[in-house]
Structure 1
Amino acid sequence: MIELRIQHPLTSADGADMLDISLQIAAQQTACLSGASGAGKTTLLRIMAGLITPQHGFLRVGDQIWLDTERGICLPPQQRSVGLVFQDYALFPHMTVQANIAYALQTAQPDLVQYLLTLTGLQPLAQRKPAQLSGGQQQRVALARALARIWGQPGSVLLLDEPLSALDAAMRSQLQTALQQAMQQSACTSLLVSHDMAEIFRLCQQVFVLEHGRIARSGSPEQVFLQGGQAGQLTLQAQVLAVRREEVVYVLSLLIGQEVTEVFASAEQAAGLQPGDRIAVAARSITPLGRAG
C-alpha cells in the first residue's frame, strides 16, 4: 500500500497555491490523477520519485518509509524502487533505444530488454538513437525504460505522467493493453496522470481529481465520472469544429475523442456557439454494434 501526505507550495497560472494532499493506494492497484493543468499532478509525482523534497510530507510504500520530513527521512531517487515516465521523456541522446532501456536495470538482463522492446513495438527501432525517433516512439522508449526499472522488484511504484499522450488512437489502445499486461506481470503499484477517459476506465481502479492542489473528488472511475448523470442518458464531451445552417436546422461538426461527427441542433442550441467551444452532448440510447473477434 502507498500512504501519502504532502504539503508543498504550488505555483500555477492562477497564482500561488498549496499542494495539500492525503491519499492511499492499495498494493498492486492503479490510481489516476486527473484535473486541470497546474493543479499539482506532475509536482506530486516528482515528490514521490524523490526529485522534489516537499515542505512537509510523509510517504510510506509497503513497509518502507521513503519520506518523513518530521524525522528527517528523505530517500534519494536511486534508493526508491520507482519507474517514472516524464512528459519530456528524458532519454539519453547518445544511447540507442535498447541501451536506454537496459540502463534502467541493475544487472544485465538481455531477455527482459528484448521482451520490453517487443511489448512496446520497438524491436525494429532497437539500434536507433532518440534523435532518429518521432515523439510517439520516444514516449514508448520512456515507458519501456520505466517498466525495466521496476520489473521483478516487489513493492515497486510506477509513476506515469501522461505516458501515451503522443500516440495516435490505434497505438494508444495497443499500448494500453501492453501496459495493463506489464503492470499485472510486474505486480507494481501505479499512479497515472491522464485525461483520456478510455485510458482511465481501462487501467485504473481509483481516481483522484485535483483542483488547486487539493483532492476535489475521489473514488472509482464510475463513482467520479458517472455519478449524478440521468439514468439511461450518456453524456459526451465534444469540441465544436464548425457550425452551419441548413434550412430550418443547424448542423454542428464536433470532435468527440478522436472522431469527427455531425449532429443536428436547434437555433436555440446553436446560438452563440463558435469553433473551439467545448460542449456536452447527450444520447439517450445505446445500440450495440457487435464485438470484435
Structure 2
Amino acid sequence: MIAIDIQKQLQTGTATLALNIQMQIAQGAMVSLLGSSGTGKTTLLRMLAGLSRPDGGHIIVNDQVWFDANTRMFKPPQARSVGMVFQDYALFPNLSVADNIAYALNKTDTRQLAHLLEITGLSALSQRLPGSLSGGQKQRVALARALARVMLTESRILLLDEPLSALDEGLRHQLQDELLSLHRQFGLTTILVSHDVGEVFKLAQQVYCLEAGRIARQGTPAEIFLHQQVQGKLNLQAQVLAIRQEEVVYVLSLLVGQEIVDIIASASEVTGLNVGDRITMSAKAFSPLIFKQPNG
C-alpha cells in the first residue's frame, strides 16, 4: 500500500501552484494520472522517487516511512528502489544497452541481466549504444533498466511518465501489451502518466484526475470516461477501405479515426457504396446501420 498525503508549492511560469495530493494505491495495482500540463503529475512521480522533496505531509510505502515533514524523515532516491521511466528515456549515451541496464543491477548479477535482456527483446542489441537504436528500442532499454531497479525489491514500484507518447501507434500498442505483461509477471505497483484514453482503458485499474494541483476525480476508467449514461444511437464517421463478399454477406473494412475495423453488411447496404466513400455508422445495442454520406 502506498499512502500519499503531500503538499508542495510549485512555480509554473508566472503563477504558483499549491500541490495538495491525497492518494492510497493498493500494492500490485496499475493506476493512471490524468490532467493538463502543469497540474503536478510529473512532480508527484518525482516526489515518490525521491527526486523532489515535498514541503509537507508524508509518503508511506508498505508501512515504511519514505517522507514525513514532521519528523524530517526523507529517504533518498537510492534507498527507495523505485524504477522510473522518463518521457525522453534518459539513457546513458556512452554506455551499451547491457551496461545501461546493468547500471541499476548488482554488477556481478549476470543472470538477472540476461533475463531482463531476454524478456524485453534486447539480447541481440546488448552491445549497441543508445544513439544507434530506434525509439521503440530505447523505450525497451529504459523499461528494462527501471525493472532492474525494482524486480528484487519488496516495494516493486514502477513510475512511468508518458513513456510511450513519442512512439508510432503500432509500436505503442505493442509496448502497451508488453508493459501489461511485465507488470503482472513481476507483481509491480505501477503509476502511469498518460493523456491517451485508450491506453488508460487498456492498462489502468484506477484513474486519478488532477486539476489545479488536487485530485478532482477518481475511479475506474469506465467511471471517469463513461460516467454519463448514453441514450439513443452512437454515430461514428468512417471511410470505406475495402468491400468484399463472403458467402451471403458483405464485409466492409472501415477506417474509424486511426483504427481499421471490419463490419458485416447486407447486399442492400453496400449497393452504390464504393471504396473511398465516407459513411456514418449508427450503432444501437451494438447493431451497426450504414448511411452513405454525399461526397464533397
Per-residue CA deviation, residues 63-86 of structure 1 (Å, 9 max, x unaligned), is 211010111001000000200001
Tell me which residue corresponds to 1:256: 257
Contact 1:209/1:216, CA 8 A, preserved across alignment: yes
Q: 1:282 to 1:103 in 2, by over 3 A?
A: farther
Whole-Å Cα distance in 2 between the matches of residues 70 and 81 of structure 1? 23
Give SS of 2:20's match: strand
Q: Structure 1 length as normaliser, TM-score?
A: 0.79
Tell me which residue corresponds to 2:113: 113
Per-residue CA deviation, residues 16-39 of structure 1 (Å, 9 max, x unaligned), is 211111000011111100111111
Deviation at 1:192, TM superposition (A): 0.6
Tell me which residue corresponds to 2:35: 35
Residue 157 of structure 2 corresponds to residue 144 of structure 1 = no
Whole-Å Cα distance in 1 between the matches of residues 215 and 277 of structure 2? 36
Residue 65 of structure 2 corresponds to residue 65 of structure 1 = yes
Contact 2:83/2:159, CA 8 A, preserved across alignment: yes
Q: 1:181 to 1:15 in 2, by over 3 A?
A: same
Give SS of 1:208's match: strand
Whole-Å Cα distance in 1 between the matches of residues 217 and 258 of structure 2? 23
Tell me which residue corresponds to 1:122: 122
Give SS of 2:27's match: coil
Whole-Å Cα distance in 2 between the matches of residues 208 and 126 of structure 1? 37
Whole-Å Cα distance in 1 between the matches of residues 71 and 101 of structure 2? 35
Tell me which residue corresponds to 1:88: 88
Q: 1:39 to 1:255 in 2, by over 3 A?
A: farther
Deviation at 1:185, TM superposition (A): 2.0
Contact 2:85/2:146, CA 8 A, preserved across alignment: yes
Deviation at 1:113, TM superposition (A): 2.4
Q: 1:112 to 1:257 in 2, by over 3 A?
A: farther
Whole-Å Cα distance in 2 between the matches of residues 14 and 285 of structure 1? 50
Q: After superposing the two structures, state which structure 1 stretch, 54-63 or 115-124, moved more.
A: 115-124
Deviation at 1:198, TM superposition (A): 2.4
Deviation at 1:106, TM superposition (A): 2.9
Q: 1:142 to 1:232 in 2, by over 3 A?
A: farther
Tell me which residue corresponds to 2:265: none
Contact 2:176/2:199, CA 8 A, preserved across alignment: yes
Tell me which residue corresponds to 2:3: 3
Tell me which residue corresponds to 1:171: 171
Contact 2:236/2:256, CA 8 A, preserved across alignment: no
Q: Which structure 2 segments of 5+ residues have no match?
A: 238-254, 262-275, 289-296
Deviation at 1:234, TM superposition (A): 5.2
Deviation at 1:116, TM superposition (A): 2.5
Whole-Å Cα distance in 2 between the matches of residues 257 and 26 of structure 1? 34
Q: What letter is aligned with 2:225?
A: F
Q: 1:262 to 1:42 in 2, by over 3 A?
A: farther
Whole-Å Cα distance in 2 between the matches of residues 233 and 144 of structure 1? 45
Q: 1:162 to 1:234 in 2, by over 3 A?
A: farther
Report percent identity of matched pairs. Answer: 49
Whole-Å Cα distance in 2 between the matches of residues 178 and 113 of structure 1? 18
Deviation at 1:257, TM superposition (A): 5.0
Q: What letter is aligned with 1:256?
A: G
Aligned residues: 258
Q: 1:63 to 1:145 in 2, by over 3 A?
A: same
Q: 1:287 to 1:147 in 2, by over 3 A?
A: farther
Whole-Å Cα distance in 2 between the matches of residues 13 and 282 of structure 1? 45
Deviation at 1:259, TM superposition (A): 6.8
Residues 188-203 of structure 1 mapped to structure 2, 5 A cutoff: 188-203=188-203
Q: What letter is aligned with 1:44?
A: L
Whole-Å Cα distance in 1 between the matches of residues 233 and 118 of structure 2? 41
Contact 1:7/1:20, CA 8 A, preserved across alignment: yes
Tell me which residue corresponds to 2:135: 135
Q: 1:203 to 1:3 in 2, by over 3 A?
A: same
Deviation at 1:217, TM superposition (A): 0.9
Whole-Å Cα distance in 1 between the matches of residues 104 and 144 of structure 2? 9
**In terms of Rg, which structure is larger?**
2
Q: After superposing the two structures, state which structure 1 stretch, 116-125 or 77-86, moved more.
A: 116-125
